[in-house]
Chain A
Amino acid sequence: MTTPRSLAFIQFDIGLDLFPLIAGTLAAVGCGLLGNFLVLRRLSLMGDAISHSVLPGLVIAFLIASTRSPLVMFLGAAIAGVATVVLVELVKKLGRVEPGAAMGVVFSILFALGVLLIERAAVRHVDLDADCVLHGQLETLAWYGAPDTLAGLLQWSSFDAVPRQVITLAIMVVLAFAFVGALFKELRIAAFDPALATTQGFNATSMHYLLMIFVAAATVASFEVVGSILVIAMLVCPAATARLMTDRLPSQIAWSVVISLACGVGGYLGATAIPAVFEKDAVNAAGSMAMVAGGLLALAMIASPKHGVITRMLRRRRLAIRVATDDLLAALYRAEEAGRTGLPRDRLGALLIGQPLPLAITRATRSALVTDDRGVIRLTRSGSVAARDLVRRHRLWEHYLVDEGGFAPDHVHAPAETLEHLPTQPPGGPSRDPHGRPIP
């Protein structure tokens, strides 16, 4: 079904979907950006704790001030956020409680308090609602009487229709970017080396609390719209995914922002468009954004070119083949030393137990290091040179370990067997190894 207002190939209704999409994406980006520093400082669960304990902060602020003005709500939430951090520290220090347990105790007590107090608030007819705290109310952002055309959308008058929540979220995102931009250097040092930060003349602890205030602010700005699940998901998942993609903080932040954007847009469209294909009603968009975040993380875990499972497996495999090739050459060289040119495959198999011998032979044959003469492997001339170099390295390492490392002569073979594969050249010198064999 396509209405005249629908934008493109998928069902996208400006009136119903535009602001929820923008709000969800803004919340995702703001939280995703701040999450970088939480994940680096191993405080991911502090985000979780804060987003739970913001509930009593909001309710108490409301009960005291009797208004739902954003400023009051924000203050209540920020105070609750900082109080959570302080209380967790207190319980940890005073009670000598393990950090995870301290966090669990504090946030579950605060959350329970919030659940009870919300009943009180309910008496005053407020749509503060424990369910909305969990998964938000994106749906309430519908824009009635939205323009039919793109031209109609791009007019100043459209801005009057922007809901308050979207403006709040936009301000939060701008502030979060400004915070990270202005204090990037400090945040970076505080994240990687708090002690260094303190010796450099700024207080890592106050940095920590500033970050926590921003996390609380992002939480409260977001969760009215998207709920606390999405806040937790976005504080942890994009940053964790980005961390699997790169080793540098600036590019990690860039990745996390891109991933958050993808979660926001993809999650929203997934929640509305996919059920529509099967002619079902839309599902909860915040939840589906969290699912997209999880899917992207799983993808990065498996296929990241830097730290993915596949990459690591391939890298290990390549290394194993390289080591096996080296060992193959060395074995053939030692056989030549003993007066035997060439070894049959099964003999080599016994020497290189547990190593990928067939692949090593294929690789060595392809680089013309050995020849395979009906199952008997022989060194070629260039293979001989390479093998000589390896055995030389092995024996020099043995010599070095005995001479400088204080190893017993009968204990050096195994370490030398590892060291010989390194590109590092051992210090040269002698002509015989500790076992009396010549060093070529």
Chain B
Amino acid sequence: MQRVGTQDAHSGGGQGGLGGASLADVTDDLPSIGQVVETMAFRAGFNTNMVIAGTTLLGLAAGVIGVFALLRKRSLMTDALSHATLPGIALAFLAAGWLGFEGRTLPVLLLGATVTGVIGVLCIQAILRFSRLHEDAAIGIVLSVFFGAGIVGLSYIQANAAAGSAGLNKFIYGQAATMQPPDVMLMGAIALAGIVATLLFLKEFALVCFNDAFAKVDGWPVGIIDLVMMGLVVIVTVAGLQAVGLILVVAMLIIPAVAARFWTERLWLLVVIAGVIGGSSGYLGSVVSALLPRKPAGAVIVLSSGAIFIISLVAAPARGVIASTVRRLRLRFRIAGDHLLERAHELASPALDRSEVDRLSDVRGWSRPFRSLLLASLRKRRLIERGVRGAVTVSQAGLDRGARVARNHALWEQYLVAYADIAPSHVDWSVDQVEHVLSDQLVRDLERQLAARGITIPGERPERQAAPA
């Protein structure tokens, strides 16, 4: 079946009818610097400006609303939703034709899309409620069956319907570059409404996302708030169909939110960052797509937010891979150093000879490079001094630290035995992890709690009185 063949060479939809295209048709003419600057600065003509502004707004809205889809763990339900819009588009087109008015107007098609999209989501809920299938299967079923129905509808329209049937394909891969101003206005208006609604309901959404049980008990209409959240996802998805296409619109919702999650632990910041990431990738995508008409905007938008995602995954200071690796390594060094100092304290001698360090490395599983790095870092912190032939001498500061760790160990151990009913023979291992991270406040609390049961641990009080036993 020749299902394409109706779009012009500059459709940019990625679905070029490629069989007969000649080389000249498909090579991109690289734009000049002037053109690039012009387009980026909104000086490239009314239509292009509208498209860029609309797509940026859409990206912003999708980023902001995607945060809540992510927090409610609905990322892939969104995917099913966007695929389920296709039969609605086909049906709306056919229904409009039968009723005798122009079927290609965007509002009619988007209305159909919304209806079947919502039906798709309801089907997922029904499958989860009435069968023993899990969510992944329910999403896969709805996604593929509805999309299949949509493809059947499109092929029916292309084979049988009268003229004017072309162009429905653009909802699959999206065609930002060829959108007309009224369509862009509609998209922008929906996006704007979505952003405003999200900002208005921010507090309610946060409440439901983080503790819906509490919200319910506190008298909030959790069901309705959840419905509003889902409704916003639906309208952004539908609004984005024409620009980025139904396969990739889910990425506009998920990726900015996931990327923003690496930068912050605060919700309002998360919303702002996700909005910025979504908006800027929407802007970038539509600019590139305006300059290189054959580059589908949807794919460019997804790849730019994808690039931001990868940067965030690696380099974000809050939860990025580099930052958390550094943090973990630092903690590991601190714990290992504590163990060494604690050993010196236990032996009551500042000098640890080589065999002692070897034994410690064996017990703690320190590799040779790790060990030398560890000793170097301890020396830098002036907790040990280098001895002869691999032996180390622990400084007074190091001995103090060792004494404190040993005392924390004893405190926590006693606490677990006295308050948590853990057998004395079972406490050592977990205590070994905790002894390094007890804060001063916690140590004081422990002392108080244990004193209440008549248990005192000798050793350094906060006032530094008695010497360690």
Contact = CB atoms under 8 A, between A and B. Distances in A.
Interface in A10-63: 39, 42-45, 47-48, 52
Which of A115, A233, A284 is packed against the most chain B CB atoms within 10 Å?
A: A115
A341 to B, nearest CB: 46
A410 interface: no
Contact of A108 (B149, B155, B250, B262): B250
Contact of B75 (A101, A283, A286, A293): A101
Contact of A100 (B76, B247, B255): B76
Contacts of B155: 135, 283-284, 287
A260 interface: no
Contacts of B172: 131, 134
B89 to A, nearest CB: 14
Interface string B15-45: 1111101010011000000000000000000
B309 A235 contact: no
B247 A104 contact: no
Given A237-B141, A280-B160, A287-B151, A104 B299 contact: no
Interface in B254-270: 254-255, 257-258, 261-262
Contacts of A211: none
B130 A301 contact: yes
A194 to B, nearest CB: 16
A42 to B, nearest CB: 5
A39 to B, nearest CB: 5
Contacts, number: 234
A287 B79 contact: no
Contact of B254 (A105, A134, A297): A105
Interface in A125-182: 125-131, 134-135, 137, 139
Contacts of A233: 141, 144-145, 148
Interface residues of B, number: 72
A301 B137 contact: no
A115 B173 contact: yes
B343 interface: no
B26 A115 contact: no
A291 B295 CA distance: 32
A253 interface: no
Interface stretch (B107-115, B300-308, B347-355, B437-445): B300-308
Interface in A275-332: 275, 280-284, 286-291, 293-294, 297, 301, 307, 309
Contacts of B261: 97
B404 interface: no
Which of A128, A235, A281 is packed against the most chain B CB atoms within 10 Å?
A: A281
Contact of B144 (A91, A125, A284, A290): A290
B260 to A, nearest CB: 12
A112 B302 contact: yes
Contact of B295 (A102, A116, A280, A294): A116
A284 B140 contact: no
Contact of A130 (B14, B133, B250, B258): B14
A370 interface: no
Interface string A61-99: 000000000000000000000000000000100111110
A101 B1 contact: no
Contacts of B70: 98, 101
Contacts of A393: none
Nearest to B21: A122
A55 B79 CA distance: 18
Interface in B214-249: 247-248
Interface residues of A, number: 73
Contact of A131 (B15, B248, B258): B15
Interface in B1-23: 1, 3-4, 14-19, 21, 23
Interface residues of A: mostly helix, strand, loop or mixed? helix
B313 A91 contact: yes
A131 B145 CA distance: 17
Given A105-B254, A116-B295, A236 B137 contact: yes
Contacts of B15: 129-131
A10 B377 CA distance: 83
A100 B143 contact: no
Given A112-B302, A297-B141, A118 B14 contact: yes
A291 B173 CA distance: 22
B144 A236 contact: yes
A104 B76 contact: yes
A96 B145 contact: no
Contacts of B306: 105, 108-109, 112
Given A100-B75, A100-B76, A105-B251, A244 B152 contact: no
Nearest to A43: B136
A95 B75 contact: no
Nearest to A239: B137
A39 B137 contact: yes
A123 B151 contact: no
Given A103-B76, A130-B14, A116 B303 contact: yes
B321 A94 contact: yes
A236 B73 contact: no
A220 interface: no
Contacts of B147: 229, 287, 290
A113 interface: yes
Which of A42, A101, A137, A307 is packed against the most chain B CB atoms within 10 Å?
A: A101
Given A115-B14, A244-B133, A287-B148, A129 B254 contact: no
Interface of B: 1, 3-4, 14-19, 21, 23, 26-27, 70, 73-76, 78-79, 127, 130-134, 136-137, 139-141, 143-152, 154-156, 159-160, 169, 172-173, 247-248, 250-251, 254-255, 257-258, 261-262, 294-296, 298-300, 302-303, 306, 309, 313, 319, 321
6 shortest interchain CB distances as A-B pairs: A290-B148, A294-B145, A108-B251, A287-B151, A233-B144, A236-B140
